[in-house]
Every structure is written in structure tokens, then in C-alpha cells.
Chains A and B, each alone.
Chain A
Amino acid sequence: MSALTPASEQFLDDTRALSILAELIDLPGDQREGAIRAACGEGPLAATVRAMLAADESADQFLDEPPILRAPGLESTRGQGLSPGTRIAAYRLECLRGSGSMGDVYEAQAPGGGRVALKLLRPGVALRELRRRFEFEIVALSRLQHPNIAALLDSGEFESQEGPRPYMVMELVEGHAITEHARARNLGGPDLLTLFARVCDAVEHAHRCGVIHRDLKPANILVQTATGEPKIVDFGVARGVDPAATLASLPGTHLIGSVPYMSPEQAAGQAADTRSDVYALGAILYELVAERPAFSHQGVALPELIRRVREQGPPTLRASARFGSRARDVALVVSHAMAKRPEGRYSSVGQLAADLRAIAEGRPVSIRPPGLWSVAMSSARRHKSRVVMASVATLCVMASAVVAIVHVMDAHDAERRSDQLIEEIVRGTDVFVVALNQRMHAERQPLEARRAVLEAAREYLRRVETRAGDDPRVLESLARVYLELGRVVGGTSTGSLGQTDEAAELFGASARMYESLVTSGDTDERRLGLASALEESSMMAGRPVAPEIARRAAAHIEIVASRVGAAQAAELRAHALSLLAAAAAHAGDVNSLRVLEVQLAELCAAEPSNADRWTSLGQAQRFLAEMLAITDRKAAHTIARACRETTLHAISLGGPERDVSTRNFAMNEVVLALLSAGEVPAEELIRSAEQAVDATRRLMTSDLHDNFARSEYVHVLLTFATAGERIAVADPPAGQGLSRSDIAARMARKVREELALADSNRPPSLAPYPIEADLRRAIQVALARLDAIAAGRGER
């Protein structure tokens, strides 16, 4: 059984505290203490409730006034700034230069007459936390001495009316953000790269001194107007490299930093390391080269932006003509620095700087085009998730890119199978697969547009196949394209076109190619490719899982897991376990499923914030509860309750699998209703099951083209209809004024309404999953039984 993790405990504690607070808050002050003791004894919960009551009493105007909009032109009337002339220690303030999240920055005069920047912590709600961060910045900066880092000159504490406020004095940097500087000077080519390499040097220096910046962005990198030197100016959210030397985990800071430059791991709320700074530098370089940010926050809500940072790659970087023949290398360096997974990036900032200088000086770079390993890993993770929303325009661009590649190949026809041709094919395929992944899995992409790209893909394949020969590199490329194409045509991914027969052939061909590749040379990439092809074959969209093939896929994943580092191995094993769990569920193998559930729970406990794993655990638990519901109601009930906790935790973690978890939660709630028949009043059970059905419908209608969501919704309807029978005939009848026939009639009506709704909003062009027909037949059987009960014939 899954142990509760700290995160889910926090979740439960908060929920409990909120409900206790709701009971206490209207009581007179002198009765509260007794009520707290009665409700939660003397423990952390009591302390939480007391703290919240205290917060309520001191809430004052908090959130009472809605935001105020003001016509522009007049300075803000808040009056938080100190007036010019104010003395802080030996410094005389001259003017307010700006305000950051932590405090205000003034320009000031130093005793010797020189001008400095003075940063003063501002009082606010999160004072204690800000103070710790501010003090850490002082400590971190005092360790750093680098010409490209604004130097710390002095620090201290200033007695203000609001109490002591710490300040720090820094070198004053007169200049502009690096992006503005580059734009204004029209900087490009070697000049831009060497300028940026100096920024990298400064970050590398910080890393060597044990400081991670964590919030690198153009606004924090100024270029001094007088000298042209770049300077990093803000270490406000930095942390130590050595975990023992860092601050205790800062509350509420897991989303700190600026999202467009934030690494995916930071966006996922995980810890940052030096490679997170590598990513941020890559994102800034992207912006410098492309002259637009990798991820734009214009008109995008924060959660959506975070989702994009975590799941999507930035638009393909087309380095401008300013980089001449090295444009491709520049794009390669940027994409290597911006790899989604830290292992895929430069392992140090120094290596990034070295490659930038290599390009500037006309030497070759240290990296090759992206290896299949990273692609295999990321597509294995992506296959269930929902990705990207692309416009029809980008799809057209992609289609024409494919045509261009085909032309290149035609041009090389004379030197068939020359090394250069093979290189082109492999490179073209890389570009192609990435594009296919990003564009085709788009949820709201019109079917016609997806089909158009598919046609381009087929054309591409025909051309390559006729030229391929038996070069293993080409074979590997083809195996990948078959796999990706299969996913789009009829895989389990969101946005699949549901053409399962064609997809089955594609997956089969891909698996055969990978198999022969593994025999001739056993690499991780090939084995993972083989595993992915088998996995897709085993769970063809909307068909029952083929347990035997799934087990073979899991075995290949296990072989790779035994050869790689611990972190990757855990990731791979979790994936294999979820695959095996699906297989066991479909094979009706309760005992295996029980073991797998325990193993998954262990992996979850090892990484409480890994949403993918908790999603898999929740699914395994729901499978188990459904299977046990027939044979062992008590055990099923326990598991279903655990499943509720697990899925709630997974949902609270967010991430791409959130919808999957939410659906899983809903399905489990219906199972719980079924299991509680006879114990809980029927009215309540029906209501909760109806809500679950409504929730899955809402999730489905958010994307009419999502066949996977649609078939899960029909599955929920089947469980609902089955539960209806159980609730209606529960002995003793626990309905409150509801007769058996009332219950049966009400639930049958609901199922029929939902089926009609499902039909009315199906896009006519969407081929339904084969499994949907099976589910619908089963629903008709269940409906007939409900009708019989409704007519007074079905009672025992």
C-alpha cells in the first residue's frame, strides 16, 4: 500500500485545517481554544489552525480591495520610496532606480564621491523569507569576484521606521539589458558569441565558487555602456551548489525566477543545479540569436506558460545570415544547452562557452546533432501526454521543409548512398521526427491539417526507402520515423487519428527494424526504440492490451535500465512498471498487479514530486480496485481509497498527466460508489457518481479529437451503469425514499443522456476506437438489466 508522502500529508493537513477552521471561525474568541483541542488535540494540526485563526484576526484589508486601475502619467502614490538626500550609513541616496521583487534599488553617493547602487530590502508580507534571501545574496556575492559580475562593495542594516532593513551596496552598472544592447548595436556573428561567452565565464566562476544563479535572464545581464562589458547584476535567488551549504528549502519559491528562461526542472518545482543555469543561458542565447524569446509570455497565463516550458520545445531556431555557414552550429549549441532533461545539456557552463568561442574562431564544436537517446527518452515520456498547440501555418512550413529535404536528396541522386547523402537523410529525419512530434500531437489541430502533414511524411518515406540501401544509420532513421508516424496514425497519444490497422503495420515494421539493429549492435537508443515500438504495438489505440508484447517491451526497458545511471534507471523502471500494470490488468492477473502496485508505490515514495509516477500508481490502483470489486470487496475498498489519495496527490502536482489523473480519479469515484452500495445512502452515491461522469465528459469535450479521453469516458459510463445495478439491488436498500426502480430508472436515464451527448459532439471525421464499440455493447447489456429493475422485474 502506498505510504503517504510529505506532499500528500501537507495536502491532507491543509484540507483538514480548512474544514476545522470553517467550524471554529464563527465561535466567540473564548470558546475557540476548547474547540481546537476537541477537534485536533495537541499537535501540528492544532498549531496550523491557531496560526490561521491569528491570520484571520490580523487579515485587516488583505484582498478586501480589488485591484485598482489608474490612468497613466502620474507617479504611483504609494510613497514607498525614500526621498533623495536620505542617509543610509555613509551613503547619500540620490534617486530611486527601480524596484525588484525584494526591494528598491537607489543610486547613491559613496563617501569618496563615487556613485554606487544601493539595494534596500522592502518590508512586506513575506518579510522573513525575503530577509533570508537577501542575506544569502550578500553571502553569495561576497564569495564572487569576477569582472563580469557587479561587485558587492558593502552591506549592513539601516534603522527605518518599520524596523531594521538590511541593505547592500554594489557597483553601479550604467547600461542596458544584453538583448537591448545587441539589438541597438545590431550585434551578430562572432561579436555576439564572444560577448555571450564572457557572460558564461561569469556564471562558470559563480559555479566554481559554489553559487547557482537560478534566475538568469536578459534583465539581469546588463552591458555597461562605457566599457561594453557584460555584468550580471542580480543574485537575489541564488543558492549554493553544495546542498549542505544552501538555505533550508525556501517556502513558496519553487516557481521563483522568470518563467520564460526557467529550466523545465525548475518549472516542475524540482531543485535547480548548475545545469539549470546552462539552460537559462541557452534560452537567453536563443533570444539573442532569434531576436525573439524562446517562450513568449505575451497573452499567456502563467500556468499555461509553465506548461509550455515543461513540455514543449521552443520553435526551431533559424539562425540568421549573420552567422553565415555556422548558423547550423549555433542552432545546435542552443538546442544542446536547452535540452529538456539536464542530462542532455552541457554538463558545465564552461563547455558552452568553449563551443561559442569555437564557432567565433572558426573551429568545430564539441557536440554532434542530437542523439537518438534523448529523443527516445523524451518521446517515451511524451507518448501519453498532451503537447503543443501549433498553428496551421507552422504545419504548412513543416510540410514545405519536408519537400525541401526530398529535393536535396534528389540532387544527391547521382552519388547514391554517398556518406553525404546518408548524413542528409539522418539529419533530415531528426528534424522531421522532432517536428512530427511537436506538431502532430497538437490537440486542437484540425484533422485536415494533420492529414496533410501525414501525406508529406509518407512521401518522404517513399523517397528515403528507395535510396536507403542497408546502411544502419538510415535503417535507424527509418525505424524512428515508422514509430513516430504510427503514433500519429493510430497510437495511444492524444491527437492520434485512430487508424489502428495502418498503425499496427507501422509499429510492426519499426519493431522489426529495431530488432535487427539491436542484433547487429546493441545500443541503448536502439533497445529503447524497440521497446517503444513494442509498447505501442501492445497497446494499440483503443484495443485491448496485448500482455505478452507489453512484457517484452518492459524486458527491453529493464535491460537498458540496468546499464544507465540510477536516476535514469528509476525513470525507465517506473515506465516499465506502469506498462506491466496495464498488461496485468488486461490479462486479469490480480496477483501480478498487486506486486506491481507495491513496487510502483515504492518508486513514488522515492520521488514524491514526480507527477508521472503518481499518475501511473493511481492507474494501477484503479485497475486493481476494479478487478477486486468482484472477488474481494473489502480489499477493493481499501485500494480504491488509496487510489483516491494517490490521484489527488498526482493532480496537485499538475503536469502533462493531470487530465489523465483527473479522469482516473473520476473513474475511481464511480468504483467507490459501487463498492459502498448498501453502506452509504443511495442518493449520495448516485450524486457522487453522476458528478464523476460529468467531470469526465468535461475533460473529453475540452478536446473533441481526443479519442483516448473519449474511450475512457465511455468506460466511465459502463462502470456507472454497472454500479447502478449494484446500488439498486443493495441489500438492505439504503435509498432515502428512493425505491429500487427509481434508482435504476434514474441511472439508466443518465447513461442514455450521456451516450446521446457523446454521439452528438463527435467530429464526423474521427474514426472511433475499436474498443469503444465493445464498451458500448457492454453498456447496452447493463442498461437492459437496469431497465428490468426499473420495471420491477430484476429484484432478487
Chain B
Amino acid sequence: MTRAQPSQQSPLCVEEAVPSATLIALLYQELKLMAHSRLAHERPGHTLSATALVNEVYLRMQGAERTWSGKQEFFLAAAEAMRRVLIDHARKRRAEKRGGDLKREAFDPDLGVELELDPSVDAGVLDEYLERLRVIDPPGHRVVMLRFFAGLSVNDIADLLGADRRTISRRWRVARAWLLERMRHGA
């Protein structure tokens, strides 16, 4: 299946499901709860990847009453919710570290766990450029969201969006190159 290049793509070309705000809000709560229940009572330093977390929420919610139209909508919403968890966390952490009572840990009392990202990436800056990517390259944005925040592999994303693997892989590299370039050098 061939898909249009970004330049020929109308910005309205959103054939994929658009996750509802309610679903995103629900998953936001769910991800936080699940993170808490999986980690709060573990030995210190025990880790869990976002991928595992999102998949676990998916499996758990499949049995429950379905509030989404398909797997696609679920993962798009989960990626968005995960992004919010991360950004909220990064913001809180920054506020805390700059505060009078400076703490070393990246502990979030609300989340009950620590959350970390490649230390060279500023979550706020990343978020800002992701918003711009959403406007200029919606398909690329979607791939980055699914890959990074929902932790899906290129193959998973290809299956989910009904595109071929090479297309998704290209989208990923192009969007990531743009993000990295802009984050390094601005503009």
C-alpha cells in the first residue's frame, strides 16, 4: 500500500481514529494508577518501561467495558496520556528541584514513582517541538507518539495503522531527524 508523501498530504488527511478527550483522560488516570500499583511497593530502583505499562493497561481494559472504537484509537489515546504523565512529571520535578528544599530524587508524590527520560532531553522542549510536528507532519507526529510514548515497534505501528513497514520506518526517521535538528539548533 503506497501512501502519499507529507507534501502531497492534505493536513486534513486524518483517516485514523481520533481518540476522544474522555478516553485520554481515562487512560491518564489509569496509567498513573497502574504505575503506582506496580511500583510503589517494589524494592527501590525496580523499573518498568512505558511499553510494558501501556500494554498492561490495554490487556486489563480489554475485559472491561469498551470505551474506544478499536485498537488504533486505544494506542493513540494511550500515547497521548503517557505524554501528559511524562510532561506533568517533568514539570513537577523541575519545580521541586528548584525549590527551597532541594531534593535529589525525581520522586513524584502524586505518581508515587520516579519517571525518567534520556537526561539530555528536556521534556518541556520536546513537548513544544512535538506540538509543532503535529501541525507540519501529522502522520510523522503520530508515529513518534506511538513509538516513543506508547513504546510500539515499527512493525506494531505498521499493523496498527495499516501501512507498510518501510513507510512507517521512513516516517519515523524523518520526523525524528526533524525533531533532533530543531531541538539542537532551535528555530
Contacts and interface: CB of A to CB of B under 8 A. Distances in A.
Interface of A: 10-11, 14-19, 21-23, 25-26, 48, 51-56, 58-59, 61-63, 65-78, 80, 96-101, 105, 123-126, 128-129, 175-177, 180-181, 217-220, 222-223, 234, 250-252, 255, 258, 297-299, 301-303, 648, 651-652, 665-666, 669, 688, 691-692, 694-695, 698, 702
A287 to B, nearest CB: 13
Contact of A56 (B119, B147, B177): B177
B143 to A, nearest CB: 11
B113 A71 contact: yes
Contacts of A652: 132, 135-136
A651 B135 contact: yes
21 contacts: A51-B185, A52-B178, A58-B180, A62-B179, A63-B179, A70-B39, A70-B113, A71-B39, A71-B45, A71-B114, A74-B45, A75-B104, A181-B100, A218-B99, A251-B186, A251-B187, A255-B124, A299-B28, A651-B135, A669-B12, A688-B10
Contact of A55 (B12, B114, B184): B184
Contacts of A23: 5
Size bin of chain B's contact surface: 35 or more
B65 interface: no
Interface stretch (B66-74, B157-165, B168-176): B168-176
Nearest to B44: A73
A546 B131 CA distance: 40
B43 interface: yes
Contacts of A669: 10, 12
A134 to B, nearest CB: 14
Given A14-B178, A62-B179, A100-B97, 5 more contacts: A25-B170, A51-B185, A67-B115, A70-B39, A98-B102
A98 B150 CA distance: 30
Given A125-B120, A301-B87, A220 B98 contact: yes
B120 A124 contact: yes
B18 A698 contact: yes
Contacts of A220: 98
Interface string B93-120: 0110111111111110010111111111
A102 to B, nearest CB: 10
B100 A175 contact: yes
B170 A692 contact: no
Contacts of B97: 98-100
Contacts of B47: 68-71
Contact of B13 (A181, A258, A691): A691
B156 interface: no
A692 B12 CA distance: 7
Contacts of B2: none
Interface of B: 5-8, 10-14, 18, 21, 28, 35, 38-51, 53, 82, 84, 86-88, 91, 94-95, 97-107, 110, 112-122, 124-125, 127-129, 131-132, 135-137, 140, 144, 147-151, 166, 170-171, 173-187
Nearest to B184: A125
Contacts of A74: 44-45
Given A126-B183, A126-B184, A252 B177 contact: no
Contacts of A124: 119-122
A69 B5 contact: no
Closest 9 CB pairs of A and B: A251-B186, A73-B44, A19-B7, A98-B102, A74-B45, A66-B151, A176-B100, A66-B50, A56-B177
Contacts, number: 262
A298 B110 CA distance: 10
Contact of B177 (A52, A72, A180, A301): A52
Contacts of A11: 135-136
Contacts of A651: 135
Contact of B49 (A18, A68, A100): A68
Contacts of B43: 71
A688 B94 CA distance: 44
Given A98-B102, A101-B94, A76 B50 contact: no
A389 to B, nearest CB: 12
Contacts of B102: 97-98, 105
A19 B175 CA distance: 10
Contact of B91 (A97, A175, A297): A297
B12 A250 contact: no
A742 B21 CA distance: 37
Contact of B187 (A10, A67, A218): A10
A3 B17 CA distance: 36
B98 A219 contact: yes
Nearest to B150: A66
Contacts of A688: 10, 12
A667 to B, nearest CB: 11
A524 to B, nearest CB: 37
A96 B145 CA distance: 34
Contacts of A78: 116, 119
Contacts of B99: 98, 176-177, 180, 218-219
A70 B115 contact: yes
Contact of A666 (B12, B50, B104, B113): B12
A558 B24 CA distance: 46
Nearest to A692: B12
B116 A76 contact: yes
Given A19-B7, A56-B173, A77-B45, A69 B35 contact: yes
A733 B11 CA distance: 27
B104 A301 contact: no
A116 to B, nearest CB: 15
A26 B136 CA distance: 21
B44 A72 contact: yes
A648 B10 CA distance: 11
A75 B102 CA distance: 14
B178 A69 contact: no
A405 to B, nearest CB: 36
Contacts of B174: 18, 21-22, 25, 52, 56
A143 B14 CA distance: 53
Contact of B131 (A52, A76, A303): A303
B181 A52 contact: yes
B103 A252 contact: no
A63 B170 contact: no
B137 A18 contact: yes
Contacts of A54: 181
Contact of B42 (A14, A26, A67, A71): A71
Contact of B125 (A15, A219, A252, A692): A252
Contact of B51 (A25, A55, A66): A66
Nearest to B102: A98
Nearest to B53: A69
B14 A691 contact: yes
B181 A72 contact: no
Contacts of B87: 301-302
A694 B18 CA distance: 11
Given A68-B116, A99-B97, A126-B183, A14 B136 contact: yes
A71 B183 CA distance: 30
A415 to B, nearest CB: 52
A570 B124 CA distance: 33
Contacts of A63: 118, 121, 144, 147-148, 176, 179
A53 B144 CA distance: 17
B166 to A, nearest CB: 8
A19 B8 CA distance: 9
Contacts of B181: 48, 51-52, 54-55
B100 A62 contact: no
Contacts of A16: 7
A68 B115 contact: yes
A702 B18 CA distance: 12
B45 A69 contact: no
A651 B151 CA distance: 29
A9 to B, nearest CB: 11
B46 to A, nearest CB: 4
B112 to A, nearest CB: 7
Given A19-B7, A125-B183, A67 B178 contact: no
